[in-house]
A and B are shown apart, each in its own frame.
Chain A
Amino acid sequence: MTDATANTPADPKPKPKTSLLAADARTNARNAAEKRFQYFGLAAIAAGAFFLVVLVFAILSNGLPAFKQAVVKMDFTLTQAQFDEAESATLKTKVYTGYFISALEQKLQAEGVTAQFDAKAIDRILGKVGGQMRGFYRENPDKIGQEISFELPAASRVDRYLKGGFTRADLTSDNRFFHQSDFDLVDALKDAGIVRSAFNWTFITGVDTGVDNAGGAGIGASVLGSFLMMLVVLCLALPIGVAASIYLEEFAPKNRFTDFIEVNISNLAAVPSIVFGILGLAVFIQFMHLPQSAPLVGGLVLTLMTLPTIIISTRASLKSVPPSIRDAALGVGASKMQSVFHHVLPLAAPGILTGTIIGLAQALGETAPLLLIGMVGFIARYPDSFLGGFEGPNSAMPAQIYNWASRSDVVFTEKAWGGIIILLAFLLTMNIIAIILRRRFERRW
């Protein structure tokens, strides 16, 4: 083409010869635009990364202390005579406290640390030592006479003093919770290695507590609640969602009715979750009389919420399977269903799994619908049995976090941040599982 026109003598304006070494104005402008776009993209990523770093820093610095707990570590031996004496006394726990204090004095003397204290101060610092010891020995009478290494949680003010959240200046005057002199005692006990910071297992395995034992509150029961709900969601949303998508994508005739359904599913995915919550309240609790605050109901509500996500991602991955595969299967005489289940579904599986896990992760972090069906209650004990856990009252991780964050005691604020770390750890794990599954399935061919 160009050759032909260049050779035509009648060509009015012969194309001027240009050098490849010198960029022309258009090329310069184009390159500049490309550069600008790249810088813009870089800036966007940098901003995103910055916010992420700030977020992670804030969460970790506020939440990590929740995983630490000041404990009192004491090696202690109780003789049978002491046990009998204490159990026959009127104020039994007081006797136990006395034993503990004398053991503590001996230990401090051995370490060469001098400290002044009385039973009241011990109660303020260690909480109800006597009660805890009595409980232990009554449950384990065989341990009498043996040396037991006790690790008892210290009072929440001691905990916060060691973490730096509570200082001498914060205590304007002695009160029934703490005295100015207690700071010296704690320092002395810390030097002697009796008070120290340990990993707070109670936070992970424990249940919710009231203000009197704020430090002992744990997220365990709500983790169980969340887990039970996720089981319900997985068992309902995955089969229903995949079956609905396969029907819509592969079998349903394309007509107005299916178009209508399709539009509605897309719209459902955008419905605010609180709407599902109020729907669950009206249908499952008020109409069907399912128990309030139960993970079963929570799971049902979250199933409704997750279904559109699963259906949309499943349909997208079914669509992305090339039609020639379906033709190939039909061409050798496979039925529609065989072609779907033998060929299309395995190819779509990674996409379906990823979509499902992302849907589950969304459901795991959902709080609003749970507020409406009453899953924010105060859950002070684990359910009695696994199946009973579905219908007994329980909370969920995000609801528990919300609940803690709205309490006035700062200890609970710390717990809320710690809970966020656990929630994020679960979400991260689920996403990693999604990535691994996707890799595993895709690498097969």
Chain B
Amino acid sequence: MYDIPNTNRDAAVESNEVKFKCTDCQVYYGDTHAIKDVSCDLRDRTVTAFIGPSGCGKSTFLRCLNRMNDTIDVARVQGSFLLDGEDIYDKKVDPVQLRAKVGMVFQKPNPFPKSIYDNVAYGPRIHGLAKNKAELDDIVEKALRRGAIWNEVKDRLDAPGTGLSGGQQQRLCIARAVATEPEVLLMDEPCSALDPIATSQVEELIDELRENFSVVIVTHSMQQAARVSQKTAFFHLGNLVEFGDTNQIFTNPQDSRTESYITGRIG
């Protein structure tokens, strides 16, 4: 549809190294079985898109990858999640350390009620990434540029982050997430509140991040999935129905449910 110029995207670095290896994952919310027997390998330096109808468990699975489900009392997670071969649900793993490596952008923009600067600087501060104020300033500026919001906020870094528009807030949250230099970035519908221009900026950012990180993005836009991702996973009612190369999923889906979904018949 809206094809964006600038792409040598498919030619970019792609790795065959597995970053996240998930096997037989189950998630229960109380008695609800939200994720059923999901196994998939997420590669390093690759963008993986999760698509599927609303309520199929995309966010739930995403939240398993940085143990955000730990904060939900009723949620139970089973199965093995290996990040670089290490089980992230191991007793010895501190979820705080994990989340510094696996950053997340949430479905709803959630800036801290602090200044724009402090929003971005918070992560680097608590992880001790900057030695002095000048370094921190650099990190903040770089993160805000990557979040495609620098030009809009550079004159009012002291203004509250909550005073931005919804789309600006979401980009601020993206900047906040990349400021800590995670190895894996989980993005839950990062563009649902953005206009096409900001969307394409964020997509460029995702593409740029791919050079160093592994990115997982949940999206309801087929076009976006097709544009930014190399791998696509289609979820349906808690099952991982199909997982493969994006090209193949969109041109030649193996499962009839995938085909119905991407052609707009279920969802």
> Could you tell me which A residues sit within 8 Å of B by CB distance?
254, 322, 324-336, 338, 342-343, 347, 445
Please name the residue on chain B nearest to A328 by beta carbon. Answer: B110
Q: With A254-B73, A445-B160 as given contacts, are A334 and B110 in contact (CB-CB < 8 Å)?
A: no
B99 contacts A330, C-beta separation under 8 Å: yes
**Contact at A328–B123, with CB atoms within 8 Å?**
no
Specify which chain A residues have a CB less than 8 angstroms from the CB of B73 in the assembled complex: 254
Is the CB–CB distance between B110 and A325 below 8 Å?
Answer: yes
Q: List 28 A-B contacts (CB under 8 A).
A: A254-B73, A322-B110, A326-B71, A328-B106, A328-B110, A328-B111, A328-B176, A329-B122, A330-B95, A330-B99, A331-B68, A331-B105, A331-B177, A332-B99, A332-B122, A332-B176, A332-B180, A333-B100, A334-B96, A334-B122, A334-B126, A335-B96, A336-B96, A338-B126, A342-B122, A343-B112, A347-B113, A445-B113
A331 to B95 alpha-carbon distance, docked (Å): 10
B192 CB within 8 Å of chain A: no
A335 to chain B, nearest CB (A): 5
Nearest CB on B from A333, distance (A):
3
The answer, yes or no, to whether B104 is at the interface (CB within 8 Å) is yes
Bound: A336/B126 CA distance, A: 12
State the CA gap A325–B173 with chains docked (Å). 12
| B57 proximal to A (CB < 8 A) | no
When the two chains form their complex, are residues B110 and A327 in contact, meaning their CB atoms are under 8 A apart? yes
Q: Which of B108, B111, B180 contacts A333 (CB 8 A)?
A: B180
Identity of the chain A residue whose Cβ is nearest the Cβ of B111 in the assembled complex: A328
Once the chains bind, are B104 and A331 in contact (CB under 8 Å)?
Answer: yes
Query: B99: which A residues are within 8 A, CB to CB?
Result: 330-333
Q: Is the CB of B108 within 8 A of A324?
A: yes
Which residues on B sit within 8 Å (CB–CB) of A347? 113
A342 to B: closest C-beta gap in Å: 7
B23 CB, nearest partner CB in chain A, Å:
25
Given contacts A332-B103, A332-B123, A334-B96, contact A325 B176 (CB under 8 A): no
B66 at interface, CB cutoff 8 A:
yes
Q: Is B162 an interface residue (CB 8 A)?
A: yes
Residue of B nearest to A342 (CB): B122
Chain B 58-102 interface mask (CB, 8 Å, partner A; 1/0): 000000001010010100000000000000000000011101100
Closest to A336 in B: B96
Return the contact of A327 from the options B71, B113, B163, B180 (Cβ within 8 A). B71
Q: Is B127 an interface residue (CB 8 A)?
A: yes
Q: Once the chains bind, are A330 and B71 in contact (CB under 8 Å)?
A: yes
Question: Interface 1/0s, chain B 116-128, versus A by CB < 8 A?
Answer: 0000001100110
C-alpha gap A325/B111 in the complex (Å): 7
> Is B162 in contact with A445, judged by CB distance below 8 angstroms?
yes
Q: How far is the CA of A63 from the CA of B173 in the complex (A)?
A: 60
CA distance A333 to B126 in the complex (A): 8
B235 to chain A, nearest CB (A): 21
B147 to chain A, nearest CB (A): 13
Q: What A residues does B176 contact at CB under 8 A? A: 328, 332
Given contacts A333-B103, A333-B180, A336-B96, 4 further A-B contacts (CB under 8 A): A254-B73, A328-B176, A332-B176, A343-B112
Query: Within the complex, what minimum Cβ distance (angstroms) separates B111 from chain A?
Result: 7
The 5 closest A-B pairs by CB, nearest first: A333-B100, A324-B110, A332-B123, A331-B104, A328-B110
Chain B residues with Cβ below 8 Å from A326 are: 71
Known A333-B96, A333-B123, A333-B126; contact A328-B112, beta-carbon cutoff 8 A: yes
Contact B122–A327 (Cβ < 8 Å): no
Contact A331:B66 (CB < 8 A) given known A338-B126, A445-B162: yes
Kindly state the separation between the CA atoms of A223 and B164 in the bound complex, as whole angstroms: 50
Which residues of B are found within 8 Å of A325, using beta-carbon distances?
110, 112-113
A403 to chain B, nearest CB (A): 49
